[in-house]
Amino acid sequence: MPSSDPLAGLNVSISQGSTTPPTIVATVKNNNPHLVTIAAYQSPFDGLILETGNLSIVPGGAASDGNDSDNSSSNNSTAASKPLSYPTIALKRAWPPPSDSLVTLGPGESRTAEIVIRHPVPVRQLGSSATVKLSGHWMSVWKRAKEEIGDADWDDVSNPDEFSGVYESNSLEILIAKSRKIPIFITTAILGGTIYYFSSPSKPTLLNSETFIPYTITSREAISPTSFIFTISPHTPNPSLPYLTPSTSSWRYPLWSVEFKQPQVQIARHYTPLPPQSLEDPADGSLRFYVRAIGGGEMSTYLSRLGVGHDVWLRGPHVGFDVTARLGAMDNIVFLAGGTGVVPAMQVAKAVLEKNSDAQVNLLWAIRKREELQRVSSPVRRPSWWQFWVANSSEPVELHSQFQDPSPIAQQLRAMKTTYGQRLRIQVAIDEEQTQFREADLQNAISGVQDRRLLANRSITGSGCRLHDSELLQLTSEFETPASVDDCKCGHGAGKNLFMVSGPDGFIAHYAGPKRWLGGQQVQGPVGGVAAQLQRRYPKLADDWLVLKL
């Protein structure tokens, strides 16, 4: 029986964001009692919504400062009552839509997008005000989380969970500020004062979690044709960086990220900074990121096109799981990372190994091609790296301190291996060489810990603890405030070993089960996939290990 239509439960409204440049804030609210996933194409989340002509603009103010005759005024009034005509474009979009162009809204959740009225709209013809209205077509709305939509679903035209139809916002009168002309004959002193008055910043210029601030790309190093490491530095030096422990050059959090903004399409994505290298001074405010451009990915493609000297916009820090508090008296982390998901693993390894001399981290890194790991002349093409369990695969590569010809990201991993020695083990599975991490590999990584440490250092945890209760963890977001002493209800000596998974949605779902939407935010959800199979086979794992999905 067909599902009820969720389109009636989607409300689109617009409000004014700023007058210069004139900016519209579109808000989509999901009033349905269930989550929905929206394909951004032609929706208010489409970064090209202006260029495709979905915003109707009726000029409402005088576009000229001159004195018009009565006849001219009448003509202008008639013209102003009609929507402004401006050039639009027809687009051929990638299909199916890439995963990062899908927006999932939980029940009651709202999401906003900014629409800046700029070229190709002739803004000067608008005058001092205009009436705007947003209308378009929901190309694809699903009653599923985006992780549950497969490629085959897009080809099924009769799928009962997919809907399409029109949407329309309220009409809104907006004000448009005119730029003031400064006479060319004013004195230098007056000019300086005038410029300060009109250009003095009204928003923060230092990194914060509310507003985006500019950074400049200062270096860029290619790893492969689609991946690179780039370094950025803030425009304004900050003597009190929010991600450093006060009066030190040490990172405050074991796991954290920032958001990058794509100003052309008004979307933001989280990226995790690489931990600082031995000769770097974190106090200078520079940050490094490992990025891979994904076909159809708006943000990664945007970043891949920027070179040294270009600006990017950041906000943060956004604090992730308090790993050290959850680890507590235990010492062991097994971290399974896919692609650029290795960066959170590097953050965690550095934080834990530096804090606890008994800690051990086993890092399992799955990549598509050897060039991500090692400089090679002729990489081999293989199927997608998250297509697991290929028969007759060889063993993963061991990255040791003498590893030859490392890629830029592997150089930092090798340096970490040299620093931490036997306490850090790094294995790499390469899809093009038919190596994957199987259930047996995960079992060996965990059982090795069991043999070495667990009998001598059993976890002691109680129910109801925010940090260590696996049932409560299912309802927890990966973004949380750092733990306090009172957050652990388990008593002295509490802790759990950690099995962590980071990477693309399909990678996480396969190994640990998909994350879920609850109350407008994404939460951990129950343990599934390979991790759940191991827990069923070895019940002690559920007691002694927490599974964390990033």
Distance between CA atoms of 188 and 258, rounded to whole angstroms? 41
CATH architecture of the domain 213-319 equals: Beta Barrel (2.40)
Distance between CA atoms of 382 and 380, rounded to whole angstroms? 6
Neighbours of 21 (CB within 10 A): 12
Cis amide bond preceding 96, omega within 30: yes
Assess contact for 478 and 326: CB atoms under 8 A. no
Confidence of residue 73 (pLDDT cuts 50, 70, 90): very low
Confidence of residue 61 (pLDDT cuts 50, 70, 90): low
Out of 55-64, 139-148, 241-250, 474-483, pick the least confident. Answer: 55-64
305 marked as binding residue? no
Question: Per-residue pLDDT tens for 300-357?
Answer: 888 988 899 999 999 989 999 999 988 888 889 999 999 999 999 999 999 999 999 8
Confidence of residue 537 (pLDDT cuts 50, 70, 90): confident
List the domain boundaries for the chain. 7-175, 213-319, 323-549
Distance between CA atoms of 119 and 50, rounded to whole angstroms? 9
Strands (E), 75-169: 102-105, 110-116, 129-142, 162-168
Structure tokens given for 163: 């809907």
Exposed, middle or buried by CB within 10 Å (0-12, 13-18, 19+), for 488? buried
Assess contact for 332 and 232: CB atoms under 8 A. no
Its pTM stands at: 0.64
Mean pLDDT of the chain: 81
Question: Per-residue pLDDT tens for 257-277?
Answer: 999 998 877 788 999 999 998
Q: Tell me which of 42 and 202 has the higher pLDDT.
A: 42
243 marked as binding residue? no
In this prediction, what percent of the chain has a pLDDT beyond 70? 82
Nearest 5°: the CA angle 522, 526, 529 is: 110
Assess contact for 116 and 21: CB atoms under 8 A. yes
Question: Per-residue pLDDT tens for 31-45?
Answer: 999 999 998 888 998
List CB contacts of 175: < 8 A, sequence separation 6 or more. Answer: 16, 19, 22, 128, 129
Exposed, middle or buried by CB within 10 Å (0-12, 13-18, 19+), for 156? exposed
Looking at domain 7-175, which of 3.30.70.270, 3.50.50.60, 2.60.40.2970, 1.20.120.330 is its CATH number? 2.60.40.2970
pLDDT value at position 178?
A: 61
Strands (E), 423-513: 424-430, 497-502
Domains 7-175 and 323-549 share a fold: no
299 marked as binding residue? yes
pLDDT value at position 462?
A: 63
Question: Per-residue pLDDT tens for 495-510?
Answer: 889 999 999 988 999 9
pLDDT value at position 220?
A: 93
Assess contact for 38 and 28: CB atoms under 8 A. yes
Pick the closest to residue 366 from 327, 391, 399 (CA basis).
399
CATH number of the domain located at residue range(s) 323-549 in this protein: 3.40.50.80
250 marked as binding residue? no
